[in-house]
Amino acid sequence: MRKLVTALALVALVSSACARGVGTRSEGPIEHPSGGDELVVRVEMVGGFVPAEYHLQNMPLISIFGDGSVIVSGPQIEIFPPPALLNPLIGKVTESEIQGILAEAEEAGLTEGDQTFENDRIADAPTHVFTIVAAGRTSRTSAYALYASETKETDRLREFHEYLTEFAGEADESWTPPRLQLIVFEPVREPSEVEPNRMQWPLSVAPQDFGEPLDSPPFPGASCGVVQGDEAKQLLEVLKGATTITLWVAGDSEYRMIAAPILPDQAGCEFKRL
């Protein structure tokens, strides 16, 4: 199957030219959720010195679900302004491969409950967050400045991260998300050399009535809502002509919109990472 260099692979391959082989498996199969909307493995990269919009649109580097579905954040064209929506890709792994991944996660110490690894020598670096759901437990491991840390524990995390790049490459088909998260707010006028394009507000609900106000909005008056079903399909088509700085016109007013795919296990508009 054709391999794609995803955001996950880029981070890993820059840091190491060597891929790690499959380690010793646990005796017997490792129990895990089996549904297509039930998470088993996830790697996210959060924080760091990036604009607020990044976290509102960002999606996990790789998510593996109980039925073997693999969803990754795929390659993105390098232009400014970038497209309004990310490039999610989907693939499939077998149960045997899931078992191998969980065995590797176990060996890396990622199934022992929540843990955090800090690095006070580095500023403004991102944090890698590993989530493993197996054997009746959800374990989240956070590692700040993972690729600038040199401990036995973080070495194992990097090895596991790099091992997962093989499975990220299996996701080579475009994924059409059935639900979208939208954050809507009035634009903050800032000097720019790029003039935003303007499009008509695409939803049946007026922008001022859309969604619910955010508790801690990064932009004044921001609200968040979920679009699904036929309206999500229609919006996906409209977004093909939009960018991240497009202004959406409704009557005499203009609005910004930040759109993000909602993964099968997510509710949308949670913002636990902000």
Instruction: Let me know: does 118 contact 141? Beta carbons within 8 Å.
Output: no
What are the start-end ranges of the H helices in 45-142? 52-57, 95-107
Task: Report pLDDT for 9.
Answer: 42
Query: What pTM was computed for the model?
Result: 0.86
The pair phi, psi for residue 91, each rounded to 5°, is -150, -165
Task: Report pLDDT for 6.
Answer: 42
* pLDDT, tens digit, 9 for 90 and up, residues 43-89: 999 887 677 777 788 899 999 999 999 999 999 888 989 999 999 99
Task: Report pLDDT for 168.
Answer: 87
Instruction: Let me know: does 146 contact 128? Beta carbons within 8 Å.
Output: yes
Q: Return the ∠ at Cα 134 (arms to 19 and 107), rounded to 5°.
A: 40
Report the mean per-residue pLDDT for the chain.
87
Query: Which residue is it, tokens 């895990």?
Result: 32
- pLDDT for 123 beyond 80: yes
Q: Supply the DSSP symbol for 207.
A: G
* pLDDT, tens digit, 9 for 90 and up, residues 1-14: 434 334 444 334 33
* CB burial readout 134-149, b (16+ within 10 A) else e: beeeebbbbbbbbbeb
106 Cα distance to chain centroid = 23
102 Cα distance to chain centroid = 20
Tokens found for residue 206: 């007026």
- Checking phi first, is residue 109 left (phi over 0); if not, alpha (psi -120 to 50) or beta? left
* pLDDT, tens digit, 9 for 90 and up, residues 143-166: 999 988 889 999 999 999 999 988
The torsion angle over the Cα atoms of residues 59, 148, 132 and 90, rounded to 10 degrees, is 40
Does residue 120 or residue 202 have the better pLDDT? 202
Average pLDDT (182-201) is 88
- β-sheet with 198-200: strand ranges across: 198-200, 247-250, 253-261, 179-185, 223-228, 212-213
Residue 160's alpha-carbon distances to 20, 141, 250, 260, in angstroms, are 8, 12, 48, 27
Average pLDDT (239-268) is 96
Tokens found for residue 184: 């809507």
Tokens found for residue 223: 């609200």
pLDDT band of 22, cuts 50, 70, 90: very low
Residue 254's alpha-carbon distances to 60, 97, 206, 248, in angstroms, are 30, 48, 12, 5
- pLDDT for 247 beyond 90: yes
Give the lowest-confidence range in 51-65, 119-133, 171-185.
51-65
SS3 assignment for 118-161: CCCCCCCCEEEEEEEEECCEEEEEEEECHHHCCCHHHHHHHHHH
Using CA atoms, how far apart are residues 188 and 185, in angstroms rounded to an integer?
Answer: 9
Does residue 9 or residue 218 have the better pLDDT? 218
Amino acid of residue 239: L
**Domains of the chain by start residue, with CATH:** 7-174 (3.30.1560), 179-261 (no CATH)
